[in-house]
Structure 1
Amino acid sequence: MRDAAALRELRSRLESGRIARGLNQTELAHVAGLGRTTVSRALSPGAPGPSADTVGALARALRLDTDALLELLETACGRGRAAGDRGAPGTTIRLWDPPDLEVHYAVEAPVTSSGSNGSREGGRRGRAGRLPAYVRRPHDEHLATVVEAACEGHSGMAVLVGPSSTGKTRACWEAIQPLTAYGWRLWHPFDPTRPEAALADLHRVEPQTVVWLNDAQQYFGGENGERVAAALHRLLTDVSRSPVLVLGTMWPEYQDDYMTLPRPGAPDAHPQVRSLLAGRLITLPDRFDHIALSKAEVLATAGDRQLAHALHHTDSGRLTQFLAGAPELVRRYETAGPPARALLDVAIDARRLGAAVHLPVGFLEQAVEDYLNDDEYDDLTDNWLDEAFADVTVPVHGRLAPLRRVRPRSSQRHAGTMTGTSACYRLADYLEQHGRRGRARLCPPKSFWQAAQGHLTSDSLLNLAYAARIRHRFGWAEQLAQQAADQGSVDALAELAEIRRAGGDWGEADLLLRQAAESGSITALIRLAVARHRAGHISEAEDLAQQAADAGDPQGLVQLAEICENQGLRRAAEELATRAAAAGDTSSLVRLAEMRQLAGAAQGAERLGQLAAKAGDTTALVRLAVIQEGKGPASSTNAMRLYQLAGRVGNASALARLAATREAAGRREEAEQFARRAARAGQSFALVRLAEMREAAGAHEDAERLAQQAIGAGHRFALIRIAALRGAAGDAEGAERLLRQADEAGIPTAVARLAELHVDRGDLHGAERLAKEAAEKSNANAAARLADLKEVAGHREEAEGLARLSADAGDISVFARLAEMREHVGSHEDAVRLAQEAAERGCTTPLMRLADLREAKGDQEGAENMTRLAADAGDTMAMARMAIILELAGDKRRAGQLARIAADAGNPSALARLSELRGSPDGPDRSGAGR
């Protein structure tokens, strides 16, 4: 279907659904939780295509097939391109929903905790569901710097490292939002497998594209990891395709695997990955610090019920884990009955040993049997397996379940990444990580390997064959590898060769490697090259390694270089490393330089570092300098000389380091020269750092001048940082002048900072004037804070005026605080008036907060009135709550109507609760009348 035809069909189905439900557009907007204008544009033939969020919300409200409508949207807007489409990979960011990019669904807080629209994403009712308001933390600032550089035309990469459910993927999602205004695209390499998708299309990525590598270990691990890293390096250094932005996430254990240098003499499995990730890793803490908790509490108070629920139930600071359902997932796992626990153990073992994320139901059913001991097996009921699946797939919070059933797309089934069955399951990420630790030393039983052989596809089989081999289960390893080979995997022949080699059959191993190499396996070429080199056939080994390099993977040359280096054949090692660099992989030169530096051969290390620099990789010289610095003050001279060498060939990190050391030594003119060069090389923060050092030393004019230069080089917040230092030192007048300069430079937060400065000085009149100015520039913070202060001081009219300014600038939460303050002092009518004004602006949180307060005081009638007002304003949580109130009062017809409206808008809890009440012996209607 052509794109335009798909869009017409999409709108036709939506319009037919609207007519069938008997709703006008205003009523549809109300039921769907969308704005009237959004609905009108979605249905209008002349408007651009609607977002996936909008289509999802409308489909649910109209009771239409959501998947079918979203597929039409994808066809219409270019998402999910056909295999033969030669267009650039990716689609515009606005068409993506967070769950499609593997952002975790958040827990659904209880109905009684608040209204429905408190969070920034509260209005999203499509596939994304609701996300809690986002709390920025220090890692977000680091990530924002990379994104800002991308906005300014510089390609960049960042990989967020942290345990499962710490907010890595959500942080990446929030970071790229500014790119939507510039028309950036996003590409998530996924099908048929992640590394295959990346290798197939990375060369086609065009400028202004975000390459999304969630769970980056799935790209960098396995046989193709080095090739993916090399392809990403080429993309990032290709000026003709700049700017591009590569964002990824990773668990800490994988970071350790990739970044740890191998022992002397041991093969280096990840040189390309390590080189790519160096300097591009951003670590996330596993818990909120006190500053982040304070921010979360403010958002919770403002009406974000999910954050409020999380804060109430955890005092460890692990909010993101709680929001992702982690504690409940672990509790469900650890308290599960034997059959359910066995199913989860099968899934954990499959994932930790390398099976694909989607596990076929047939595999799980067959594998689970040997996970039960004799007593447990004897106690099973006839339908124990169905009961176990039902148990592990029940959500713990909203949509979060230990095992989640997934529906594979036809492209994934046909591509061989799944079996032909439509039933597959995915293990919850946090449970996978928890299980990896708990079951790390265990080897699966016989039924696991049998089930794998009968139900998994070649990629999974190959990984499990390797896992079986290193656990000395050679029989299973051979059967699995042979099964993968029978499915067409040429790399499986290379794995069979390793199994033969482990059994001492070197001749058969070589024959299999040659067979695999002749069939096109680059992995086999590399392994054969290493094997022939160790057998003393040097020339043949190098020819094989060169064949691999000519085919696009210089890893054979890299490995031979390290073997020669460890054998003391340094000239041969250098020659091979140089050939690898010519083939596009400089990691071998970098690695050899490090090895020689650590061995005390500093002169040879420097020469190799310079060779790497000539090949375009200046990181070797910087790493050598870092090694020297680590030896103590006595080696600082050598370290500085290496930084100078790296600086001469344009390494921005080295130039920034040189600028800081020159400044510390009092050589200010040289420091500025180095900082300016670093800024031109892409590291504008060097100027900011220099400005901060001058400011701390009292050289205020110099600091301001450098901050202005930093702004010119792209670091927009330089003056604000200097202003903060000056204000902290007690120079409020100087801080204000700098903030005025920042405002003139177009920095949107400057006026809000000025207002806060006046508040701190007690100048509320001046602060109010500035808050109004900031609000006009869409920054609501100052007006909101000042409204609170005015209310506390008793200046109610002024407080309300500022609240309206804040709301006009996008922050309606201030109404909730003012309403609550009025309620506490007995101004009930004022409280209701403010809450209703907020509801008219689209936020029902203040009404529901008043309902909670009145209920807590025993004013049930007042609580019901507030709930009714919120329900009338479209709050589905309030509708659900009101339905229960009406049910208990005997008005079953109205209760049912409200419950169904709430369910159609995505909140089925009221229907479930009504069903419980009507089926309960103590309920008001056991017969089901009124349904």
Structure 2
Amino acid sequence: MPEKQRKSDAALAELRRWLGDGLAASGLDKTQLARRSGLGRTTVSEAFQPEGPVPSAKTLAGLAKALGMPVEELLELRRTAAMGVAEPAIEEELGPGRPIEQWEPHDLEVHPAGMAPDRGKLSRQRLLPGYVPREHDRVLAEAVRHAQAGRSRMMVLSGTSSTGKTRACWEAVRPLANAGWKLWHPFDPTRAESALSQLAFVRPRTVVWLNEAQHYIGDAHVGEQIAAALHALLTDEQRSPVLVLGTLWPEYVRQYTILPVAGQSDPTSRARELLAGRIVSLPESFDAEALAAATQLARGGDQMLADALTRSGTHGRVTQDLAGAPELLHCYENGSPEAQALLRAAMDARRLGVGLNLPQAFLTSAALGYLTDIDCDDLTDDWAEAAYAELAKRVHGKQAPLRRVIVCPPGTPHPFTLHGSVSGPVFRLADYLEQHGRETRRRVCPPASFWHSVHAGLTNPDDLFSLAREAYARHRLQWAHDLQRRAVEAGHPDAYLALVTWLKESGNFSEAESVLRRAAEAGNMQALMYLASWLRNSGNSREAESVLRQAAETGGPNVLKLRVDLRREAGDYEGAEALAREAVGTGNPRAWRILAELLREVGDREEAKTLAREAADAGNPQALTLLADWCRGAGDREGAEALAREAVDAGNSQAWEILAELSRESGSCEGVETLARKAADAGNSRALVILGFQCEEAGEYERAEVLARQAADVGDAKFLTDLVFRREESGYCERAETLARQAAAVGSWNALTILAIRREESGDCEGAESLAREAAVGNPNALTWLGLQVTQRKEGKERSDALIQQGADAGDRYALAFLVDLRQEMGDHERAEALAWQAADAGYADPLQRVVSFRERRGSHVKAQALARQVADAGLARHLDKRWLAAQWPHGLDPEGTPTSPQL
């Protein structure tokens, strides 16, 4: 055998060995690996087959990232394995995409606005109306200019359905065609799979087209990985410039950017970071300037715009009209009862979390509950066939209210198609009708037929998990528990935890433990850890230790700490130490610290230091920082400083803070400012704050303010805010306002708000209102809080009410809660309820509970229950008092709103 072939075979064998070891270490099976990597199941299987072909570079990169393996080393092995193998030109070398001029806008999902005959041909040419630039187009144009100048940019247009988001992106990239740019639209086999597998190969001067970006960064399985890959692309100078354009509905923007609640998981952290500063909002309608420009185009011969303006000239919803929204709405509102029932079932399915592709069998069965008794009596044998045919008819803009879709080519099964065993036709609801349903049906609980059809006909674990949560949010407890059990059986990784939580809350500890054990037996790491904690808290330490040993075999990161804690709690310090030492010997990256802290706890400080030093010598700069902190606590300032400087040299930015603290404690400013600035450059603003505080205490006020502003510029405005109040208390009011405005400029508006309240306390009402309105630009509750301050004076009630109303008008949803209370005290209960619902629509539903409680206290028990049912129907049951809710309907509600009977 030639030497070259032997090297190739050996490299290929080594490559497959690496992949096999990586798969074993991950604990995944190949189906799970395909889902995580975004590759096809067949592609993944071939990569592991001993006699299979050499995997492509794209496949190998996707597998390496999913398994946490070194990409470059694997690609090097692949290059050796592929020696002498004739391969076609692979896309990753040229990068995905094709020249912009080769794209047709409708292929990029720009809504067709109409059809015009193509003379001499049987086909019809799709046309676009003239384009009217608006404010968001200027922002997009600036991003394009930056991209042309060599700087990568990303912009995401946010707007409701059919507001012109995709068309705006298309118009923005057209100038890049003349500069030789390409455009890549990740789409096949699915959007998420395509993006995840090919983002690493995007080359300079490429537009990445992410229309409906929720299908990428919002994907339930790989959305966060895609967000991280996009961030890597945008910050990779070797692939710059690229331009990433996407579109999102506002509700998805809110979902991906909302800050997590303390103590809860943060499932969209990477998406939130990616979108920060990159969202451009589109208005619902054309303003007067845009309408005038559209009118000019219409007068110039644009018949499509002229036709649209006859219907939308007054309300300005031109793009929606062009996209066919009014006709879609007409089909819904004026369709046959059977067609309306199918559409409502589809609307409810989508708004409650079912995927895009809705099985026909599910829709048909669910629709029966949306019909009146008279309509049911009039049904013919072919009612469903006739209703689907009615809804398949296209309206203006080539959209159909409910259209059948082909998920994948016939005879080509794909593991990501429906995530279950559903067979038969599937349908997709028109975007505009989906959003219309979300708005108009948001307070409606689907009928019993919907839930029965879900239970009988849906198998996708994500769908079942989402629907179970929605049932619980509507206090439909039995359906919630049944669907959560189905989700557990279908293999949803998080469903067991929600089911266990609900079972514990209802006092069913036996079934809760049984569910937890089944999940643990299936190898779910989180369930193993949860079960160990459960057993530990129940006093069953021996079985908890056994479970943790099982968890240790799967490589969970927190297992060692729990095992050591169990030994410590039992007084077995020798066993705890032996366990930690064993983990250190196996290379567990957290073991050294656990062992070091254990040794310090038992008094063996010198050996703890030795262990930390060994970790530091092995390349762990955190160990140096820990040692420095220990030395500082022991009074060894010289040793602490030497270790902190060593940690800084090793790249640990936290050590800068120790150095700054040491300098502050010693009263020496020499070199401290340089240290603080370096710390800030490394991402640790705390050192600047420490130095600034030191300057403030020493009377160097201007220098302290400079350092405070620098800290604020890198994201820590607390010290700057503190200085505002220090200056205010010292009588330097103008200086305080200046500093407050500087804090506001970096996004911290609290100082201006509190200054306004302090002005009010001092009697400067005019100055207080002026500052509050200024603060309301970034902090809408400024006016509300000022109004609450005014309420403390009886003579200020009218002014207080006006300020709180202004706060509500400025967008402070919490102001509505105070207005609810005011209206109830005045006896205007109808207005109070309307304001509570307004607050709920703005995302703050707690005022509804206030109205329920008020009615209950006044003896209006029936009215309290009626409102509580409406709140539950709207999916807001979690905002109601749990104990009161459990007392009213201990077994939940049926879909129709009647109390559920206890199950036998």
Q: TM-score range by the shorter chain?
A: 0.3 to 0.5
Compare relative contact order (CA 8 Å, sep 6+) and give the higher one, 1 or 2.
Answer: 1
TM (norm. structure 2) is 0.48
